[in-house]
Chains A and B, each alone.
Chain A
């Protein structure tokens, strides 16, 4: 006789109000002033972006520094199949962007009017565009190819940065 399985539908759900701790200033300046803050190690001078308030190499504090809002794509991809949380957003571009002056690269969304691999390739210059409605989260901004910047910041929901 065929096995009869009993299945139960269920959802696990936890609510949070999580603190960003020492990184809080990054999110506050992003939300209030459209600034992108990195940190610079007080000993070795390494610039961390995303920021960390301690240098993981020197074990010394790192100080806040305002970063330029332009950078270069180090590596990218275009996602066509993804998780249940993002499946409605496909296709979307993401990549590791090294902001000008930073020693590390940060993962961010790369938006383009023409989202094809050659447009979001390694070495392409990009610039940050901000949401008009910001919540102090990484989704408050994204990057666009530098030559598309002007056309993105005139859209009603977006605006340019503090520079």
Chain B
């Protein structure tokens, strides 16, 4: 397999709504930003040099367009080249990075565009004059339509089932421990100019916010967002040919799908997909599941809901099962902690533009490794980072990307 590097990163601001842009216009903006970034790293390329695109777009109902990828393909000037769309719920971004990696690693492309976009807030409930319940309805169609959608299942009730089962088993995460994730991620977002929800808040603010789905409160949940994110991936020969100063190598990619029916799972309080994907990605990168916390500098986790971030600390091997809540109480995942988690603000701080999210998380971890994260830059010592995506019915999809800046390590 070819070695694969991220040589360009483009992320648009995450916003509640872009009245001035369609989804394909947003995708164009991120592509242009990624090309500009690659050229800042030493390349001299345009979209004409990109040989293929892998698109991450979750939901046709958001975009009000089936096969939205082909319309983006036209708008970003990629006609007569291969374009493949990935749709894996909230994990769409991570899965898209994985497939773009495969596009380059396999030798099919030397330069590949990995492009995610979502524009959810055109959904609008005309009867009540509200947006969010209609966005949630468009998402709820991802639940099993026969057995689960008719019961009023939706994203929050799906995640909360796992968190409640985890709490029954371990007595953690408590509501206060979950609230700490919200405080951390809203707080981290203050230093990220692209984030939708920067806020200085307290545990009490989270505890007092309106109940959504017991025990999740409003501030435990990410907001749905509109944005696009793009990465340009290159093989080693291209990295050399283009004289890229600071390539971020993708050293591990893995994904797994657990049973989408939570009721079929032996343990309802954990996502085996996270565990399998993490172990496989670490193995590919030559890292150790039991020592991973000491081997990486940064983790961009999928904190769609605060409680799941706490459980992810355990599933991804940062701490033993049942100890995620204690770890955040001790400050472990804080921006100045043992292993900063979501220094950009994550989904709770930035917003969740589904198809773009995992690509933004990967791009953010890469920016950290490059030393280009701006005001939310953390200290890089080991030169390695991780991005994590989960989603879909019962959060069945999981993807993990490991990145490395080999210059930083020297």
Q: Which of B6-14, B152-160, B191-199, B361-369 lies at the interface with chain A? A: B152-160
How many CB-defined contacts (below 8 Å) exist between A and B? 126
Q: B226: shortest Cβ distance to chain A, in Å?
A: 13
Residues of B within 8 A of A92 (CB): 152
**Chain A residue nearest in CB terms to B20:** A3
Task: Write the nearest CB–CB distance from B244 to chain A, whole angstroms.
Answer: 36
Mark contacts of A89-117 with chain B using CB atoms, 8 A cut-off: 1 yes-contact digit, 0 otherwise: 10010111010000011111100000001
Report the Cα distance A81→B223, complex, angstroms: 14
Question: Are B164 and A75 neighbours in the complex by a CB distance under 8 Å?
Answer: yes
B161 touches A85 (CB 8 A): no
Q: Which residues of A contact B64 (CB under 8 A)?
A: 10, 12
Which chain B residues lie closer than 8 Å to A3 at the CB level?
Answer: 19-20
B16 contacts chain A at the CB level, 8 A cutoff:
no
Tell me which residues across on chain A come within 8 A of B136, comparing CB atoms: 82-84
Give chain A interface residues in 2-52, CB to chain B under 8 Å. 3, 5, 7, 9-12, 20, 23, 50
Interface pair B20/A79, CB less than 8 Å apart: no
Question: Is the CB of B50 closer than 8 A to any CB of chain A?
Answer: no
| A83 surroundings in chain B (CB, below 8 A) | 133-134, 136-137, 139-140, 152, 154
Is there an interface contact between A84 and B214, defined as CB atoms closer than 8 Å? no
Q: Is A78 an interface residue (CB 8 A)?
A: yes
Distance A108 CA – B211 CA, assembled complex (angstroms): 21
Give the distance in Å from the alpha carbon of A161 to the alpha carbon of B137 in the complex.
Answer: 32
Which of chain A's residues have a CB closer than 8 A to the CB of B140?
Answer: 83, 85
Shortest CB distance A16–B (Å) = 10
Of residues 58 through 86 on chain A, the ones whose CB sits less than 8 Å from some CB of chain B are 74-86
Q: Which residue of A lies closest to B136 (CB)?
A: A83
Name A79's contact: one of B61, B134, B152 (CB within 8 Å): B152
Report the bound CA distance from A23 to B218 in whole Å: 38
Q: Is B1 an interface residue (CB 8 A)?
A: no
Q: Which of A11, A23, A75, A108 contacts B151 (CB 8 A)?
A: A108
- How many chain B residues have a CB neighbour from A under 8 Å? 45
Interface assignment of A122: CB less than 8 Å from any CB of chain B: yes
Would B137 and A105 count as touching, CB distance under 8 A? Answer: no
> Contact at A11–B152, with CB atoms within 8 Å?
no
In the complex, A139 has a CB within 8 A of chain B: yes
Q: Which of B25-33, B235-243, B262-270 contacts A (4 or more CB under 8 A)?
A: B262-270
Chain B residues with Cβ under 8 A from A109's Cβ?
151-152
**C-alpha gap A139/B152 in the complex (Å):** 10
Which residue of chain B has the shortest Cβ distance to A7 in the bound complex? Answer: B19
The reply to whether A77 and B126 contact each other, CB–CB distance below 8 Å, is: no
Q: Which of B160-216 contact A (CB under 8 A)?
A: 160-162, 164-165, 168, 210-215
Q: Would you give the shortest CB distance from B170 to chain A, in whole angstroms?
A: 13
Is B148 an interface residue when CB atoms closer than 8 A count as contact? yes
B381 at the interface (CB under 8 A from A): no
Among A10, A76, A83, A89, chain B packs the most CB atoms within 10 A around the CB of A83
**Chain A neighbourhood of B164, CB < 8 A:** 75-77, 122
| B153-A94 in contact (CB<8A) | yes
Name A140's closest neighbour in chain B (CB-CB): B150
| Residues of chain B contacted by A5 (CB below 8 angstroms) | 19-20
Provide the bound-state CA to CA distance between A11 and B136, in Å. 16
Ordered nearest first, which 4 A-B pairs have the shortest CB separation? A105-B263, A84-B133, A5-B19, A83-B137
List residues of A whose CB falls within 8 A of some B CB.
Answer: 3, 5, 7, 9-12, 20, 23, 50, 74-87, 89, 92, 94-96, 98, 104-109, 117, 122, 137-139
Given contacts A83-B139, A85-B137, A104-B263, 15 further A-B contacts (CB under 8 A): A50-B147, A50-B263, A74-B263, A79-B157, A80-B210, A81-B210, A81-B211, A83-B140, A84-B130, A94-B153, A104-B261, A105-B262, A107-B262, A122-B168, A139-B150
